[in-house]
Structure 1
Amino acid sequence: MLSSTMIVTIVRKGWGNTALEASVKAGATGGTILSGRGVGVNEKDSIFGIPIEPEKEILLTLTPGSQADAILQRIVEAVELDKPGNGLAFVVPIENIVGVHHMASQAP
């Protein structure tokens, strides 16, 4: 089976589609956007002294390992992950995939 990875990108609400579009332009075949909440070191906001957790969008992108670096770089550029407070992304190796038939058909 072909080596697969998952790129996990966490961005501010409203930026998930921008990250998804960038990943598709770089060769990804799609992605899944989930809603979440959380606070990073650069996002300690409060209203009337009550801390708030900003809403986030989490993009999950399954891709062959050989494409991960190019896709990740395009995401970083599109949502400016190199600037503090804009989010983060990381790559996770995947051992097995079930139900993603277009990726299974790429196996040697």
Structure 2
Amino acid sequence: MSIDRKYDLIVTIINHGDSDIVMEAAKGAGATGGTVLTARGLGSKEAEKFFGISIQPEKEVVLIVVKKDIKKDIMHAVCNAAGLNTKASGISFSLPIDDVIGIASIEKF
């Protein structure tokens, strides 16, 4: 049985303090809002030692529920503003949402 999904969740993990960059880009591409969580990144000390990778443990996770048809536009905008090659050093991925209750602001568009 196939489920016709209308929404997706965009998850973006960025350096601490850069969530405003993500939200500005997402809103510019059609998102109506999001939720920011504080997180801690875990990395291998070996990776830092051998590969010269600077691991910043303090992160923010931005969760944005969007209509499926505008997901890619929002993800591209977020990547351009806060992707790996920016100060925010962010990554984004999306997950399908089966059902949603309580997001009337998305339904207005």
Shorter-chain-normalised TM-score: which range?
0.7 to 0.9
Residue type matched to 1:62 in 2? V
- 1:105 positional shift: 5.6
Question: Which residue of structure 2 lines up, in the alignment, with residue 73 of structure 1?
Answer: 76
- Write 1 or 2 for the structure with the bigger share of helix: 2
Residue type matched to 2:61 in 1? I
- One of 18, 24, 27 as aligned partner of 1:24: 27
Question: Which residue of structure 2 lines up, in the alignment, with residue 99 of structure 1?
Answer: 102
Residues 21 and 105 of structure 1: is their aligned pair in 2 closer, same or farther, counting only changes over 3 Å? closer
- 1:65 positional shift: 0.3
TM-score by length of 2: 0.76
CA contact (8 A) 2:79 2:90 kept: no
Structure 1 unmatched ranges of 5 or more = 47-51
Number of positions where the alignment pairs a residue of Structure 1 with one of Structure 2: 98
- Write 1 or 2 for the structure with the bigger share of strand: 1
Q: CA RMSD in A?
A: 2.7
**Deviation string for 1:60-80 (max 9, x for gaps)?**
011000000000000000013
Matched, 1:37 2:40: yes
Matched, 1:89 2:96: no
Residue identity (%): 33
Q: Which moved more, 1:14-23 or 1:96-105?
A: 96-105
Question: Which residue of structure 1 lines up, in the alignment, with residue 6 of structure 2?
Answer: 3
- 1:35 positional shift: 0.4
Q: State the 4+ residue runs in structure 1 displaced beyond 4 angstroms.
A: none
